[in-house]
Amino acid sequence: MSQETVAAKRYARALFEVAAQQQKGLEVEEELRSVVQAIEGDTDIQKFISTPNVPQSVKMEVLSKALAGKVSAPVMNTMELLLNRGRAELISDLLDSYVKIQGDSLGMADAIVYSTYPLSEQEQNQVSAEFGQMAQKKIRVSNVVDESLLGGLKVVIGDKLYDGSLAGKLQRLEKSFRV
């Protein structure tokens, strides 16, 4: 585990504790997600934040004006802390760690479901229910279309992969012939 990941977990834990005290855990998650999407979606913002020649105070002033009224004080304070300490590269890892901590506290987990076509709401609910029983958690589904699967599903929950895709089955069959 890299030092950045460990540091991001510490910041995420602190942010989660503040959010939990204010009973705003899910709101903070959504705010963090919006901030990360805004930063990762714009290369100019990424360059601005990562440029060492720009003083941290200027970065924070710009970020404060951009986020004023859009994010809560805990998120704003965390962003300020990261910028002041020169740890802006942790923002994406912070979100990932926060989502995991939040999910663990609520008995939830995120699943990325790869399929050959967009899943309907009913199909997503079915996948959520089936894998929720296996993981003994409430599952939030994110659907990703991957036409290389040929058919079936691939489900990733945390660090576990459940491969029920046709391509995966063919690979396992091919492997069995080699043995």
Domain harbouring 9, CATH code: 1.10.520.20
On whether both 29 and 91 belong to a single domain, the answer is yes
- At residue 5, the pLDDT reads 79
Boundary (domain end) residue, out of 103, 128, 150: 103
- At residue 15, the pLDDT reads 93
On whether both 79 and 96 belong to a single domain, the answer is yes
Number of independent structural domains in the chain: 2
**pTM beyond cutoff 0.85:** no
Q: Which one, of 110, 105, 169, 154, lies nearest residue 135 by Cα?
A: 110
% of the chain exceeding 90 in pLDDT: 32
On whether both 114 and 96 belong to a single domain, the answer is no
Q: How far apart are the two ends of the chain, measured CA to CA in Å?
A: 34
On whether both 13 and 76 belong to a single domain, the answer is yes
For residue 148, the enclosing domain spans 108-178
12-68 pLDDT, tens digit each: 999 999 999 999 988 999 999 998 888 888 888 888 888 888 888 888 888 888 888
The better pLDDT of the pair 97, 171 is held by 97
Residue 1 has pLDDT above 70, yes or no: no
Q: How confident is the model at residue 108 (pLDDT cuts 50, 70, 90)?
A: confident
Q: How confident is the model at residue 148 (pLDDT cuts 50, 70, 90)?
A: confident
Residue 3 has pLDDT above 80, yes or no: no
On whether both 92 and 19 belong to a single domain, the answer is yes
On whether both 9 and 60 belong to a single domain, the answer is yes
On whether both 120 and 99 belong to a single domain, the answer is no
Mean pLDDT of 83-96: 87
